[in-house]
Amino acid sequence: MSAGRAAPPLGREVDRDALDRLRAWGGDPLIRAMAQLFFEDVPALLSTARAAAASGDAASLAGAMHVVKSSAPQIGAARAGELAAEIERRARGGDATELAPLVEETGRALARFRRALDDELRA
Amino acid sequence: MKLLLVEDDRMTAALVRRALHEDGHAVDVASSVREARSRALADRYDAIVADVGLPDASGLDLVHWLRAEQRATPVLLLTGADAPEDIVRGLDTGADDYLTKPFDVLVLKARVRALLRRGGSPRADALSFAGITLDRRRHEAVFETARLRLTPREFALLEYLVLHAEAVATRTELLEKVWEMQFDPGSNVVDVHIARLRSKLRAAGARARLVTLRGAGFVLTARPDAATAAAPGDRSTS
Instruction: State how far the Cα of B136 lies from the Cα of B123, in Å rounded to an integer.
Output: 9
Chain A residues with CB under 8 Å of a chain B CB are 15, 18, 21-22, 25-26, 30, 33-34, 37-38, 40-41, 63, 66-67, 69-71, 73-75, 85, 89
- Per-residue pLDDT at B238: 36
* Predicted confidence (pLDDT) per residue in B124-135, tens digit: 677 888 899 988
Cβ–Cβ < 8 Å for B11, B57:
no
Parallel/antiparallel/unpaired status of strands B47-51 and B2-6: parallel
- Per-residue pLDDT at B172: 86
Residue among A41, A74, A85 minimizing CB distance to B15 = A74
ipTM value for the complex:
0.84
Greater confidence (B139 vs B15) lies with: B15
- Per-residue pLDDT at B122: 54
Instruction: State how far the Cα of A37 lies from the Cα of B179, in Å rounded to an integer.
Output: 42
Cβ–Cβ < 8 Å for B185, B167:
no
- List of chain A residues with pLDDT < 70: 1-11
Interface test with A, best of B6, B7, B15 (most A CBs within 10 A): B15
Q: If pLDDT is split at 50, 70 and 90, which confidence band does B190 have?
A: very high
Instruction: State how far the Cα of B215 lies from the Cα of A76, in Å rounded to an integer.
Output: 50
Residue among A25, A37, A69 minimizing CB distance to B105 = A25
**Is B139 in CB contact (< 8 Å) with chain A?**
no
Q: Measure in Å the smallest separation between the Cα of B12 and chain A Cα atoms.
A: 6
Longest dimension (CA), chain A: 47
Q: Do A70 and B55 make contact, defined as CB atoms within 8 angstroms? A: no
Residues of chain B in contact with residue A30, where contact means CB-CB under 8 angstroms, are 18
- Per-residue pLDDT at B89: 84
pTM: 0.65
Lateral strand order in the sheet of B2-6:
B26-30, B2-6, B47-51, B75-80, B97-101
Between the two ends of chain A, the Cα-to-Cα distance in Å is 7
Torsion angle of the four alpha carbons A40, A27, B107, A34, in this order, in degrees rounded to the nearest 10: 0
**Is B18 in CB contact (< 8 Å) with chain A?**
yes
Q: Could you give the percent of chain B with pLDDT greater than 90?
A: 42
Q: Do B55 and A63 make contact, defined as CB atoms within 8 angstroms? A: yes
- Per-residue pLDDT at A6: 41
Residue B24 is classified by DSSP as T
Average pLDDT, chain B: 85
* Predicted confidence (pLDDT) per residue in B216-238, tens digit: 899 999 887 765 434 333 333 33
Q: If pLDDT is split at 50, 70 and 90, which confidence band does B182 have?
A: low
- Per-residue pLDDT at B82: 65
Nearest-Cα residue of chain B relative to residue A38? B11
**How big is chain B, counted in residues?**
238
- Per-residue pLDDT at B121: 52
Q: Do A34 and B106 make contact, defined as CB atoms within 8 angstroms? A: no
* Predicted confidence (pLDDT) per residue in B68-123, tens digit: 777 889 999 998 766 788 888 888 888 999 999 889 999 999 999 999 987 755 55
Instruction: State how far the Cα of B168 lies from the Cα of B166, in Å rounded to an integer.
Output: 7
A-facing residues of B in 32-61 (CB < 8 A) are 51, 53, 55
- Per-residue pLDDT at B124: 64
Instruction: State how far the Cα of B142 lies from the Cα of B107, in Å rounded to an integer.
Output: 44
DSSP B150-169: --HHHHHHHHHHHHTTTS-B
Instruction: State how far the Cα of A36 lies from the Cα of A59, in Å rounded to an integer.
Output: 27
Q: Do A34 and B102 make contact, defined as CB atoms within 8 angstroms? A: no
Residue type, B35: E
